């Protein structure tokens, strides 16, 4: 046997080890319930993008985002809850990956956004669901609740306001100037909210530690704000926000009459919607639970796991109460 034969034999033996390893069972795949699907459905001729995860036979949680973000704000919450719930998170027109028609082709009002989400839920055959509302999600979600109280199984409000007590000084320029006259001149101070510094402000002010907040949190929505025509879309919604406070009493009447189980998880350092707005829900809702978190406007960025735990415990407790009746 020559030297070359020995070398070749040794090489074949060495290769045999990886081959044996390759025949072993592959690593476990991600549990199907935790896998997020990225889908689109047509509503009013628009592409409405949404994220979906979990078993549709389990209780559904409809996640309604705020400004300036999209369903991206729920990127960590969805997998944290997907084994227990069916989660659906749409992007409104003008946000995220949904269509963004110009203001002359689509009426950007909260009533219209609620119309779109209403039709969206019907397209997906969502007949019963809990809602998670944050920021803009509140005026959208509470409109849905008033329209279809029979569909709402529970409410989770995370800095989603419904009371004048929650309106901080942040709103003074809107209320005193822009809502009275939405001129180009009066809009100038508001344009700062569409710049990177304005977007970062919403995520960072009130946070326990800026190092907790991933830059993805503001980089992704900033890309949406930078799209041609998007500033006009956001200014239209800024102006239309004036229609929400006059509806508060109507929403309160819904709360008092139907008493939806409500979990209030609130970043208490939010410069936009203060903690008094969180506490005010308990004036009207007997089946409510309040948790004030040491966080800002986008509390999920720091307290995703804690909020997921509160949601899981609260909704399971409510389900147990319902079954016991």
Selection from 143, 137, 114 nearest residue 247 by Cα: 143
Eight-class DSSP state of 97: T
Chain centroid to Cα 217, Å, comes to 12
Q: Are strands 262-267 and 288-293 parallel, antiparallel or unpaired?
A: parallel
Query: Which one of the listed residues 65, 72, 252, 297 is annotated catalytic?
Result: 297
Structure tokens at 186: 């009066």
* Residue among 184, 198, 196, 197 nearest 232 (CA): 184
Residue 214: Cβ within 10 Å count: 13
| 252 has catalytic annotation | no
CA pair distance 303, 159, nearest whole angstrom: 13
186 contacts 238 by C-beta, under 8 angstroms: no
Q: How many CB atoms lie within 10 A of CB 84?
A: 18
Judged by DSSP in three states, 291 sits in: strand
Cα distances (angstroms) measured from residue 253 to each of 120, 145, 172, 276, 284:
26, 11, 26, 19, 8
CA angle 276, 280, 169 (to 5 degrees): 35
Show which residues are catalytic: 297
């Amino acid at each position: 046997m020559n030297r070359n034969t020995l070398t070749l034999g040794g090489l074949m033996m060495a290769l045999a080890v990886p081959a044996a390893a390759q025949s072993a069972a592959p690593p476990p795949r991600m549990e199907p319930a935790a896998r997020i699907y990225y889908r689109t459905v047509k509503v009013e001729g628009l592409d409405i993008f949404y994220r979906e995860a979990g078993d549709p036979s389990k209780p559904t949680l409809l996640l309604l985002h705020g400004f300036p973000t999209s369903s991206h704000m729920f990127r960590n919450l969805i997998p944290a809850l997907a084994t227990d719930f069916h989660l659906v998170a749409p992007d409104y027109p003008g946000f995220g990956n949904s269509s963004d028609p110009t203001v002359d082709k689509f009426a950007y009002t909260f009533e219209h956004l609620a119309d779109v989400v209403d039709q969206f839920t019907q397209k997906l055959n969502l007949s019963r669901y809990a809602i998670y509302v944050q920021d803009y999600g509140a005026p959208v979600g509470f409109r849905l609740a008033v329209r279809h109280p029979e569909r709402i199984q529970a409410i989770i409000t995370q800095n989603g306001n419904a009371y004048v007590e929650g309106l901080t000084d942040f709103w003074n320029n809107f209320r005193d100037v822009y809502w009275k006259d939405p001129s180009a001149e009066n809009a100038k101070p508001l344009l700062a909210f569409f710049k990177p510094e304005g977007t970062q402000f919403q995520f960072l002010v009130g946070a326990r530690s800026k190092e907790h907040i991933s830059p993805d949190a503001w980089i992704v929505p900033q890309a949406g704000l930078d799209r041609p025509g998007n500033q006009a879309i956001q200014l239209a919604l800024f102006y239309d926000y004036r229609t929400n406070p006059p509806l508060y009493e109507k929403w309160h009447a819904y709360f008092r009459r139907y008493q939806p189980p409500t979990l209030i998880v609130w970043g208490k350092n939010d410069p936009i919607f203060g903690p008094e707005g969180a506490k005010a829900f308990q004036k009207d809702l007997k089946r409510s639970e309040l948790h004030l978190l040491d966080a800002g406007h986008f509390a999920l960025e720091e307290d995703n796991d804690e909020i997921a735990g509160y949601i899981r415990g609260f909704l399971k407790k409510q389900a147990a109460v319902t079954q016991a009746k």
